Amino acid sequence: MIQLGQGLYWDQLKIGDQFKSWGRTITDADIVNFVNATGMLEVLFTDAEFRSRSSAIPGRVAPAALVYSIAEGMLFVTLFQGTGLAFLNAEIDVKGPVVAGDTIHVEVEVTDVRPTSKKDGRGLVRTRNTVINQRGEVVLVYTPLRL
Helices 28-38 and 64-76, interaxial angle, to 10°? 110
Instruction: Answer yes or no: is pLDDT of 1 > 80.
Output: no
DSSP H or E segment with residue 61: none
- What does the pLDDT look like over 89-103, one tens digit per residue? 999 999 999 999 999
- What does the pLDDT look like over 79-130, one tens digit per residue? 888 887 799 999 999 999 999 999 999 999 999 999 999 888 899 999 999 9
- What does the pLDDT look like over 39-51, one tens digit per residue? 999 999 999 999 9
What value does the mean pLDDT of the chain take? 93
How far separated are the first and last CA of the chain, in Å rounded? Answer: 25
CB 65 within 8 A of CB 40: yes
For the question of whether the overall pTM of this predicted structure is more than 0.75, the answer is: yes
